[in-house]
Structure 1
Amino acid sequence: MIFISKFMVPKGYTGITLYPFIFLKKKHYKKNKILINHEKIHLRQQLELLIFPFYVIYGLDYLVKLIVYKNHLIAYKNISFEREAYQNESNLNYLKNRKLWAFTKYLKQQFFLYFLL
């Protein structure tokens, strides 16, 4: 279910997914198939992790990346869940072919960062 709300979407972002809802900052973003696909990938990730653990892992992943990269945008773009969504957002068939727990591939790719601290 998609809602338009400039109050729910953080400044500098176009949308946010909070299971089971997608919030978009502006109405015309509903027509952006790539953005909607990106947010639907997050819905699938959240569902696979039974919602709450997704947010815990997402937050911890962001904090570690922020310490490593010392830059909010770089840290955000390197969150494992965001990497999966950004790398596959243009593939509008991705969710049809996506394997269960596909996000773990992106967790494994950067797992070594946790040991740098």
Structure 2
Amino acid sequence: MVIISKYLVPRGYIGITIFPFIFLKYYNLKSSPVLMNHEKIHMRQQLELLVIPFYIFYTIEFVIRLIQYKKWYLAYQNISFEREAYYKEKDLNYLKSRPFWSFVSYL
């Protein structure tokens, strides 16, 4: 389910997925197939890890990357979940053939 709210999406981002919702900052973003695919990849990742463990792993990896890179955005971009989503967001058929736990190869 997609929810449009500029107040629920953190500053500096245009979308965020918190199972089972995709929050977008603006309504017109809903028509972006690349952005929607990116967020759906995150939805699949969350389901594979049974939601709560996804957020635990995401947070731990973010902290590690922040220590490693010392810059917020660079740390964010290098989280394995984000690397997979950014790398495959333009492949609109990716989720049809995505192997289980595919994000592991992006560690």
For the criterion TM > 0.5, the same-fold answer is yes
Superposed CA RMSD in Å reads 0.5
Give deviations 1:6-58, integer Å, cap 9, x for gaps: 11100010000000100000000001000000000000000000000000000
Q: For 2:38 and 2:97, locate their aligned partners in 1 and report how far apart those are by CA, in whole Å.
A: 15
1:77 equivalent in alignment to 2:71: no
Q: Which has the larger radius of gyration?
A: 1
Q: What code does the residue aligned with 1:42 have?
A: H
What are the residue-to-residue correspondences of 1:4-23 with 2, within 5 Å?
Answer: 4-23=4-23
Q: For 1:31 and 1:46, locate their aligned partners in 2 and report how far apart those are by CA, in whole Å.
A: 23
1:39 equivalent in alignment to 2:39: yes
Q: Runs of 5+ in structure 2 lacking a partner? A: none
Q: Which runs of 4+ in 1 moved over 6 A?
A: none
Paired positions, count? 107
Q: What code does the residue aligned with 2:92 have?
A: L
What are the residue-to-residue correspondences of 1:40-59 with 2, within 5 Å?
Answer: 40-59=40-59
Q: For 2:43 and 2:72, locate their aligned partners in 1 and report how far apart those are by CA, in whole Å.
A: 23
Matched residue SS, 1:57: helix
Instruction: Identify the residue that residue 64 of structure 2 maps to in structure 1.
Output: 64
Q: Structure 1-normalised TM-score?
A: 0.90
